[in-house]
Amino acid sequence: MTIIIALSTMVYQRLTGPTYPKKVELSLNDTVYQLNLLRSNEIGTPCEIRLPIADKNITGNLIYKRYNTNDSLTTLKMNRKMVNEKAFFGEGPEIEVLYATLPEQPAAGKIEYFIELSDGEEIIELLKDNPVVLRFKGYVPRYILTPHIIFMILSLIFGVRAGIEAIFSRKRTLRYVTITLISLGIGGLFLGPVVQFNAFGEYWTGWPFGSDWTDNKTLFAFIFWIVAFFQLRKNPKNRLWPLIALTVLFSVYLIPHSMGGSELNPETGQIETGLKK
C-alpha cells in the first residue's frame, strides 16, 4: 500500500507537469486520432513533431514562433515517413507519420506551435488559439538522472511509511523519518541541482537566488522533515511532526513537475524562473 500511494503521487505529478506531452484527440474524415505533442526536447536530439496519421490525403503544416516574442509565424510543411512506434521494451511496429522538425533553441529556450491540417476540402487549425509551448533542455547523463529519480521515489515511499508508523505509534517512526530525510537530501538538494545544471546551466534557481518552484518546494519539504527528525529525537512518541512533514511532502508533489521552472528570456538572453504573466 505504501508503494502504491507513493508511486501514484509521483505519476500524478509527472503527468500534470508542463513538460509532459500534450494529449490531443482529433477527429478527421470519420477517424479519431490520438496525438501526443512534444512539450520538452533535449538539445542535440532532432525536435520532431510527429502525427500518426496514415491517410495520405491529409496534409499538414507546423506553424511556430519563439515563445513570448513578437516574431512572425514560420510555417513548415509536414512530410511523411515510417517510424518505429515506441513500446515498453524496445521498439514496436512501424507506423506512418506526418512530421516536421522545429529549430533547436538554447537551454531553457521555448517555442510555441500549432498545427494546420487539410484533407483537400476542410482545413483544421489545431490548437491555434492555445498553442503548445515546448522547452529545450541540455543533456543530463543517465548516471546522474537515474539516481536522482530513485532517491526522490525513495523519499516519498519512506515518507509515507513514516506517516503510517506515526499514526499507529510504532517504534520505527524515527528510522523512517531519518531515511526520508537522507533520501530527500541526496535526491532533491544534491542531485537535483546537478540535474538542473546539466539541463539549464544553473545549479540552484530557488530562494534566495530565484523563484524556481521545483527548488523552492524541495527546500520547503526538506525543512519540515528536519524539524520532524529533531522533534522525534527529543520525544520518540511524537506523532504530530512526522504527519505534518508528510502532509507538506504530499502538498509539494501535488504541484505539477517543472511548474515555474527555468525559462530563457529571448530579449535579455538570461534564464528566469517562476510563473510569468
Is 13 a domain residue?
no
* Total domains present in the chain: 2
Of 91, 116, 137, the last residue of a domain is: 137
What's the per-residue H, E or C state across 35-96? Answer: EEECCEEECCCCEEEEECCCCCCCEEEEEEEECCCCCCCEEEECEEEEEEEECCCCEEEEEE
Is 3 a domain residue?
no
Lowest mean pLDDT among 54-58, 72-76, 137-141, 189-193: 54-58
Is 52 a domain residue?
yes
Q: Both 118 and 221 in a single domain?
A: no
Is 73 a domain residue?
yes
Q: Both 110 and 175 in a single domain?
A: no
Q: Both 45 and 78 in a single domain?
A: yes
- How many CA atoms lie less than 13 Å away from 136 in the CB half-sphere? 22
Is 2 a domain residue?
no
Q: Both 80 and 185 in a single domain?
A: no
Of 118, 137, 156, the last residue of a domain is: 137
Q: Both 248 and 154 in a single domain?
A: yes
List pLDDT tens digits, range 222-236: 999 999 999 999 998
Q: The pTM is what?
A: 0.84
Q: Both 46 and 161 in a single domain?
A: no
Is 4 a domain residue?
no
Alpha-carbon gap, residue 107 to 135, rounded angstroms: 8
According to the model, what pLDDT value does residue 277 have? 46
Of 93, 120, 137, the last residue of a domain is: 137
What average pLDDT is seen over the chain?
A: 88
Alpha-carbon gap, residue 71 to 57, rounded angstroms: 31
Is 12 a domain residue?
no
Q: Both 46 and 128 in a single domain?
A: yes
Residue 31's CATH number: 2.60.40
Q: Both 227 and 254 in a single domain?
A: yes
List pLDDT tens digits, range 85-136: 775 556 677 889 999 999 999 999 999 999 999 988 888 999 999 999 999 9
Q: Both 132 and 148 in a single domain?
A: no
Is 10 a domain residue?
no
Residue 211 or 17, more confident: 211
Range of the domain at 107: 19-137
Q: Both 247 and 181 in a single domain?
A: yes
The full DSSP string for 93-131 is: EEEEEEEEEEPP--TT-EEEEEEEEE-SS-EEEETSSS-
- Answer for the pair 135, 109: CB distance below 8 angstroms, yes or no: yes
Q: Both 126 and 148 in a single domain?
A: no
Q: Both 161 and 249 in a single domain?
A: yes
Which amino acid makes up residue 236? Answer: P
The full DSSP string for 167-188 is: HTT-TTHHHHHHHHHHHHIIII
